[in-house]
Structure 1
Amino acid sequence: AMQYMELVPKELQPVAGTDGAWQRRRRLARQLPLHDQDPAQCRGLADGEHQLMEDFVKKYKAEALGVGEVALPGQGGGRKEEEKPQDKSIDPSRAPESPNGALESTAGHYRCDTCQQPLPGDCPVVYADRAGYSRQWHPACFVCCRCAEPLVDLIYFWKGGAAWCGRHYCESLRPRCAGCDEIIFSEDYQQVEGLAWHTKHFACLECETLLTGKPFALAKASLLCTTCSQSR
């Protein structure tokens, strides 16, 4: 564990009382918001949408959610490489394959799936079981494919051959309300310039006037009615 921690950038090491611990809490809240996991934490769900969200959560837990495993190269999945007599039938021009399916280069190294740099055999790496044990990452390279943030506590969501943080995985399946930050399960919502809102949250930031069908201004993801926009 200590060897793994040394490979994590110092500013991200979650040691109690340090900036790294604060960063971990901040990233955890951003990458895994409670309102993406529990309908009871949501304020934007309408009648009948609680079951939709419960099904959504159940589905991603079954199909995408995972926790990375730290192991030495070739030892992911609890399987250890064993010394064996060399198989004379193996083509020497091909990289040998380890018992867990990971291909080694002719120099005897595994490679990080993100940076493609060699992985020394004595340095811990991260495995993701949903990716299969032929892929491995430097701890600092195990990041969300969308935001490139290190995956807090190695919690990942697997989709399209890549690891995602929870926030961006959910957003890849359903729109997120720019007003309340919750996932939108209704098909009746407002969308402007790539952003989405629950219809009831499509309102002026200042006076809270609903803006559906009315002129408005959009500034830094904030909605303003024409009156409030002109008074700024």
Structure 2
Amino acid sequence: MLERCIEATEAILYMELIPKEMQPVAGTEGAYHRRRQLLRQLPVYDVDPAQCLSLSEGEVGAMEEFVKLYKQDALGVGEVALPGEAGTAKDEGKQPPKNGKKTPQETSSAPNGTVTDCNKKSEYHCERCKQVAPLGSPVVFAERGGYARLWHPTCFVCCRCSEALVDLIYFWKDESLMCGRHYCEAVRPRCAGCDEIIFSEDYQQMEGLAWHRNHFSCVECEQPLTGKSFILDQAKLLCTTCSKSSKRA
């Protein structure tokens, strides 16, 4: 009962550290913001082939394998706790090893840091801003990054877009936090036409952008542009005719 009270207190303190306009209270702007961020950071068509416009059998298989691997290797949910107390819930109920030796999580030499490591520290610093994390103030841990790292609640953001990670859902890549959208884009190209991840090897690429072959077309008249002259204007493809019309307007 006492532990539940402590957890509830930490949750309240955590919410107080989040900007008011971002607190996901039902019926408030914070709740709408959360919904928008979910759609932005975790597009349904990045995880469910049925939500994509059209995938071949091979592309469906590639997507399913892609999702399986990132769930196994990169996806996580941040853990809110006081500095030095992360991971304790996971250790409850574990039986001591029969040989009497400590597990890797109980030793101070584990590469990613552990609960024991954190408890030995006298001062904690946020991984992002490098400022001190007060002992009595909740922080966020990312298990995939190791419990030696922690973040202030407002610093638990995507390293690409700097947006707060909605519901603390993160992807761990290259020693950094990412939202789902930018993790996927770091591994596979995203089509500038339909916004879906490209799982075909037959696609068009230019100036850091990519398109499915059948989406490489004018945004105005939808004329296919492969092998034709076109204008790329702020990530929008225009055939020369539509480009001239747009300038006249």
**Common topology (TM > 0.5):** yes
The CA deviation at 1:2 is 1.1
The CA deviation at 1:12 is 1.0
Contact conserved, 2:216 with 2:224, CA < 8 A, in 1?
Answer: yes
Say if 1:103 and 1:146 are closer, same or farther in 2 by CA, change over 3 A: farther
What CA distance in whole angstroms lies between the structure 2 residues aligned with 1:29 and 1:168? 13
Q: Say which of 201, 204, 210 aligns to 1:187.
A: 201
Q: Map residues 64-83 of structure 1 onto 2, 5 A cutoff.
A: 64-78=74-88
Letter in 2 for 1:2: I
Q: Say which of 56, 60, 63 aligns to 1:50.
A: 60
Does residue 156 (structure 1) correspond to residue 166 (structure 2)? The answer is: no
Q: Map residues 108-123 of structure 1 onto 2, 5 A cutoff.
A: 108-123=122-137
The CA deviation at 1:109 is 2.1
Letter in 2 for 1:20: G
The CA deviation at 1:193 is 1.1
3-state DSSP of counterpart to 2:137: coil
Contact conserved, 1:100 with 1:134, CA < 8 A, in 2?
Answer: no
Q: Map residues 151-230 of structure 1 onto 2, 5 A cutoff.
A: 151-230=165-244
Give a deviation string over 1:129-162, Cα, whole Å, max 9, x none. 0011000110000000111111000000001101
Contact conserved, 1:74 with 1:98, CA < 8 A, in 2?
Answer: no
What CA distance in whole angstroms lies between the structure 2 residues aligned with 1:132 and 1:197? 37
Does residue 40 (structure 1) correspond to residue 50 (structure 2)? The answer is: yes
Say if 1:152 and 1:98 are closer, same or farther in 2 by CA, change over 3 A: closer
Contact conserved, 1:65 with 1:155, CA < 8 A, in 2?
Answer: yes
Query: Whose helix proportion is higher, 1 or 2?
Result: 2
Give a deviation string over 1:159-218, Cα, whole Å, max 9, x none. 110110000000000100000000001111111111100000001111110000100011
The CA deviation at 1:46 is 2.7
Identity value in percent? 64
Residues 184-193 or 151-160, more deviating: 184-193
The CA deviation at 1:78 is 1.5
Contact conserved, 1:31 with 1:165, CA < 8 A, in 2?
Answer: yes
Does residue 137 (structure 1) correspond to residue 151 (structure 2)? The answer is: yes
3-state DSSP of counterpart to 2:24: coil
The CA deviation at 1:47 is 3.5
The CA deviation at 1:59 is 0.4
| Structure 1: runs of 5+ lacking an equivalent | 81-96
Aligned length: 214
Cα RMSD, aligned residues only: 1.7
3-state DSSP of counterpart to 2:140: strand
What CA distance in whole angstroms lies between the structure 2 residues aligned with 1:224 and 1:217? 5
3-state DSSP of counterpart to 2:128: coil
Letter in 2 for 1:35: Y
What CA distance in whole angstroms lies between the structure 2 residues aligned with 1:213 and 1:103? 63
Contact conserved, 2:219 with 2:236, CA < 8 A, in 1?
Answer: yes
What CA distance in whole angstroms lies between the structure 2 residues aligned with 1:136 and 1:222? 40
Contact conserved, 1:141 with 1:150, CA < 8 A, in 2?
Answer: yes
What CA distance in whole angstroms lies between the structure 2 residues aligned with 1:199 and 1:207? 16
Say if 1:202 and 1:99 are closer, same or farther in 2 by CA, change over 3 A: closer
What CA distance in whole angstroms lies between the structure 2 residues aligned with 1:206 and 1:122? 57
Give a deviation string over 1:4-49, Cα, whole Å, max 9, x none. 1001111211111111111111111110000111111111423421
> Which residue number in structure 1 is paired with residue 69 of structure 2?
59
